[in-house]
């Protein structure tokens, strides 16, 4: 998918997405990938068997973690890891927003 997007839109500097494998209605595997002109391809840690409470907001939370990592840390790898962590946290809580703190996201995303 990333290759198709970058070919169709050659001015894009960064492309990223989440990847979900649905095991059951309440259990998903969760990861994320990203690509940038300067770095190339990166992948977040694969989170197996994530217990899903509410899928709404996972993608938005991924995007916010990715953007934070890019703007504040200057790193696609950090952004993809923080985005994947924030998205995972969001899907394990009710509603479409995460109440996770930066410290919680960082602990899950950066270990």
| pLDDT reported for residue 111 | 65
| pLDDT reported for residue 110 | 80
Token pair of 25 as six digits: 């209605």
Rounded Cα distance between 80 and 35, Å, is 9
Rounded Cα distance between 29 and 17, Å, is 14
Tell me the pTM.
0.87
Number of structural domains, the chain? 1
What is the domain range of residue 33?
Answer: 2-110
Print pLDDT tens along the chain (111 aa): 888 999 999 999 999 999 999 999 899 999 999 999 999 999 999 999 988 877 777 888 999 999 999 999 999 999 999 999 999 888 888 777 777 788 888 887 786
C-beta separation of 69 from 85 below 8 A: no
């Amino acid at each position: 998918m990333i290759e198709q997007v970058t070919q169709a839109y050659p001015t894009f500097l960064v492309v990223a997405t989440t990847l979900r494998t649905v095991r059951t209605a309440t259990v998903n595997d969760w990861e994320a990938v990203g690509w940038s002109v300067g770095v190339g391809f990166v992948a977040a840690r694969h989170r197996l068997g994530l217990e899903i409470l509410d899928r709404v907001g996972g993608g938005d939370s991924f995007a916010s973690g990715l953007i934070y990592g890019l703007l504040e840390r200057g790193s696609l790898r950090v952004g993809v890891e923080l985005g994947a962590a924030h998205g995972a946290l969001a899907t394990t809580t009710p509603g479409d927003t995460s109440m996770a703190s930066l410290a919680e996201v960082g602990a899950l995303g950066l270990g």
